[in-house]
Chain A
Amino acid sequence: MSMLHLHYDVPGDDFTRAGEASGDVKHKLKRLGYEPDAIRRVAIAMYEGEINMVIHAGGGEATVDIDPDKVDIILQDHGPGIADVSKAMQAGWSTAPDNVRSLGFGAGMGLPNMKKYTDVMEIESVVGEGTTVHMVVNPGKK
């Protein structure tokens, strides 16, 4: 059982609401007194994940478990899945449509950013079923 268990629905196709979950987690970590670097890493990784779910999967769910030595994040969607995960992890590789690019996203940096800012990042994806991303941030590491 974690110290704090949080659950969020990330609505699909609504860019105006992306960032609500990561923003809320950020505020909670701040109030709990986590170090700024860990808070920043969690916020960046989670926001990129939220944006991915909005762009590619019609939304999804975020589950966050907060403990003193780790923040555990699970992002789950029932979107189209990722056919080639290793390709998707390459910086600059993107399948985002033009309207997403005009918003300032879709440059193929989302997953690489998530990997860069977390201590553990695992992707499980099944084409036609969806994608689950598991991330862990350990305060004081990286």
Chain B
Amino acid sequence: MTIKEMAEACGWKLLAGEEGTDAPVDGCYIGDLLSWVMARALSGNVWLTVMGNVNAIAVAALTDVAGVVLAEDAALDEAAKARADLQGIPVYTCPENLYETALKVAGQLNG
């Protein structure tokens, strides 16, 4: 399934990077410590985090994740939004916490 289809099913709102929303999703990674995430998130993962800064977008670009979901309405700052739009990296927001968001992702990936 694409990140766009997953976002619709999970009720996430797109904040930036619409150009990349056709990317396929086949897994999930959760974390906020960028050095940790950079070394472990895989291409095709949807990355759940609360880090909405420009470095998080750089990490998303380097790891080729399908998209970023900012849980608990965590903010995406202006520089990060501009970078995500420029690089076509979809960034979504949702009010649920990381655990609840992960459950929804699991429902989509396993369903």
Residue numbers of A with Cβ under 8 A of B are 15-16, 18-19, 22-23, 26, 36, 40, 43-44, 47-48, 51, 103-105, 107, 109-110, 113, 116-117
A43 to B63, CA, bound (A): 8
A44 to B43, CA, bound (A): 13
Asked if B32 CB lies within 8 Å of chain A CBs, one says yes
Asked if B94 CB lies within 8 Å of chain A CBs, one says no
| Chain B residue total in the interface (Cβ 8 A) | 21
Given A19-B62, A36-B43, A109-B33, 16 additional A-B pairs, CB 8 A:
A15-B54, A15-B55, A16-B54, A16-B83, A19-B61, A23-B61, A26-B62, A44-B39, A103-B34, A103-B55, A104-B34, A104-B35, A105-B35, A107-B36, A113-B35, A117-B39
Q: Which of A16, A19, A104, A117 contacts B33 (CB 8 A)?
A: A104
Interface string of B35-49 (1 = CB under 8 A from A): 110110001000000
Beta-carbon nearest neighbor of A36 in chain B: B43
Query: Dominant SS at the A interface?
Result: helix
Cβ contact within 8 Å between A109 and B54? no
Residue numbers of B with Cβ under 8 A of A are 32-36, 38-39, 43, 51, 53-56, 58-59, 61-64, 79, 83
Chain B residue contacts of A110, Cβ below 8 A: 35
Q: Could you write out 14 A-B pairs with CB less than 8 Å apart?
A: A15-B54, A16-B54, A16-B79, A23-B62, A26-B61, A36-B43, A43-B62, A48-B38, A103-B55, A104-B33, A104-B55, A104-B56, A105-B34, A107-B36
Q: Which of A15, A16, A40, A109 contacts B36 (CB 8 A)?
A: A109
Cβ contact within 8 Å between A19 and B38? no
Cβ contact within 8 Å between A19 and B39? no
Chain A residue contacts of B35, Cβ below 8 A: 48, 104-105, 107, 109-110, 113
A83 to B79, CA, bound (A): 34
Cβ contact within 8 Å between B33 and A107? yes
Query: In the complex, what's the smallest C-beta–C-beta distance from A111 to chain B, in angstroms?
Result: 10
